[in-house]
Amino acid sequence: MPTTPLKFAAIDIGSNAVRLLFCNVFRHNGVPVFKKYDLIRIPIRLGEDSFLHHYISESKSRDLLKTMQAFKLLMEVEQPVAYRACATSAMRDATNGQEVIEAIRQRAGITIEIIDGSTEAQLIYQNHIEEHLDKNKSYLYVDVGGGSTELTLFSNKKHIFSRSFNIGTVRVLHNRVSKEQWKDFAAWIKENTKKYSPLIAIGSGGNINKLFKMSGKKDGKYLTLPKLHELADSITQYTLQQRIETLGLKPDRADVIIPAVTIYQTVMKNADISKMLVPQIGLSDGIVHDLYEQYTSGNKVFSAFAQDRTASQHT
C-alpha cells in the first residue's frame, strides 16, 4: 500500500512567468512517486526589464511582491512540509535583483535564491528522467526558458554533461542574442554531441509543452523535427492577435513561441537529432525532487516553512 504522501511546494521565478507547484510524494513498493496536483502560473515578464534595461522596474517588482504574498497565503493553507523558491536568468541579470528579493523576504516572508545557470541545470537534472530511459540510447535534455537554455546529456543512463546558455525566448524576442552567440551555441552543440549520435531530444518548457499539444501527439510519442518545422510554419501565418484568438495561445505565449521553436530547431539540427520526447517536466519539478531528497536525508535547510511563516507574521 502507498504511504501517506508528503507535500512539497516549489516556486520558479522565471523570465517570462512565475510558477508555484504543489506536489505530493509517496512511496509505493519502496519507490518514491511524485504526483503534481496544482500549478499556478502568473505571467510576469521580468526578462523584459532585465534583458533590456538590466533592472527590475518598480511596477514589475510590485507585481512580483503581490504574487509572492499570494503564494505565501496559499502555502499557509496547503502546509507543505518544505518549499524552495528559485529565481533564474532575469533576476541574475538585474542589477537590483538582490534588493527585490530582500523586499520580498521582509514583506512576504518568502526566501528566494538567485541561482546560477549551473545550479539551474543541476536542479532540472534532479528529475532523474534518465532512470526511465533506454539504457542503450543517448538523450539530450533541452530546457528552454525566457532567459536561458539548459542542455543535459545522458548516455547509457549516465549523466555526461550539463551546460547553461544565455539564449532564451525573451532574449531572442528582443534581439538580445548576437550572431556570435548563436554561432558559438551551434558550434558547442555540434562539437560536444557528435560522439553520442544518434541522439534523442527531451524537450522541457512551457512552449514545447504547448507545441506538443498542438501537434496532436499522444503522451509518450515523439515530436519530430519535420513536425516542429510544420508547426512553426503554421503559427507564423497568424498575427499575434490571431494566435491568441484563433489558436488559443496565452498573450505571453503568443510572441515567444516562435523564438522557442528557433532554439529547439538550432539544438536539434546541430546535434543531428530527428525526434523529441516531451514529458512535461521542468525546473519546478526538479526543485520538488531535490526537496524530497534533502528532506528524507534529514537536511532541513529548505524545510523551515513554519519558521518562515512565524517570521513573516512579525514583520
pLDDT for the residue 305: 54
Same fold, 6-118+283-313 and 128-277: yes
pTM of the shown model: 0.90
Distance of alpha carbon 96 from its chain centroid, rounded?
A: 22
SS3 of residue 233 by DSSP: helix
Spell out the per-residue pLDDT of the chain, length 315, in tens: 456 899 999 999 999 999 999 999 999 888 899 999 999 999 999 999 999 999 999 999 999 999 999 999 999 999 999 999 999 999 999 999 999 999 999 999 999 999 998 899 889 878 877 677 788 899 999 999 999 999 999 998 888 999 999 999 999 999 999 999 999 999 999 999 999 999 999 999 999 999 999 999 887 789 999 999 999 999 999 999 999 999 999 999 999 999 999 999 999 999 999 999 999 889 999 999 999 999 988 776 554 454 454 444 444
Distance of alpha carbon 249 from its chain centroid, rounded?
A: 19
d(CA 161, CA 170): 25
| Structural domain boundaries in the chain | 6-118+283-313, 128-277
d(CA 91, CA 2): 39
SS3 of residue 77 by DSSP: helix
CATH class of the region 128-277 = alpha beta
d(CA 184, CA 252): 28
d(CA 144, CA 205): 6
The burial of 207, by beta-carbon neighbours within 10 Å (0-12 exposed, 13-18 middle, 19 or more buried), is given as buried
d(CA 167, CA 268): 15
Residue labelled with grid coordinates 538550432: 266
Residue 119, CB half-sphere, CA atoms under 13 Å: how many? 11
pLDDT for the residue 300: 61
According to the CATH classification, is domain 6-118+283-313 in 1.10.3720.10?
no
pLDDT for the residue 107: 98
